[in-house]
Structure 1
Amino acid sequence: MSSSYVRAQIRHVEEVIQSDGPDDYFTGPDHDVYEVLVEHGPAAAFLDWFQQEDPYDLCRIGDTAQFIDLGSAKSPHDGAVIDFTFDEFFPRWLEAVADVAKAHLARMASTAIDALHDDP
């Protein structure tokens, strides 16, 4: 029997609803806030992977463990658990960080090419 390398629970934190009341003025879109609580394993690595490969289409709030849902049809239920062994998690994490690195390199290359075109 294999044990968990990383285990996280998704908790619903709050529902934010548009209002125009003087005490709670908010005109942004309605959304739900979730927090991904890493109970076991490398929290930073898991959150980086979850941000890239999130099966629920949530949007991360900065570099926190909180994510917002703007009405996805795939919203997680409160208390949803994601559990991986090392052999399951490591290749997924490696692919996610490689994709981020490739995107960063492509952006740097595009910036360099644009700079060449701008020089007389």
Structure 2
Amino acid sequence: MKVCVIEDDPLMLSHLDDMLKRMDYQVMTAETVDEGLRIVRDWSPDAVVVDILMPERDGLNFIMETRHLRETMHVIAITGGGRLGPGPILKMASGLGAHATLTKPITEEALKAALSGV
């Protein structure tokens, strides 16, 4: 299975990349929503793990722009929550079409469970 990870924090991006590769997924990573959208168009991943709070365009923008792919692409929204905490932000992501939501820090077990429906 192919998974794209969109995350602006290089340490978290590397952590997620490592976890997914240990689970035997093919992984492509992006540090911006625009880069992630290019990967989705060109590579057609089965799932995308997208950070919600990022500079410039955020993960909510990504979810809105890829809604038409919802049937074929599983979206997992992640966040540490910032000042508001993760609850309201992840609720918005679910309302926009995310299939699963996870709060940072993310464990391998939680990520595996979120991807199990793909």
Larger radius of gyration: 1
TM-score in terms of structure 1 length = 0.23
TM-score in terms of structure 2 length = 0.23
Greater strand share, structure number? 1
Higher relative contact order (CA 8 A, sep 6+): 1
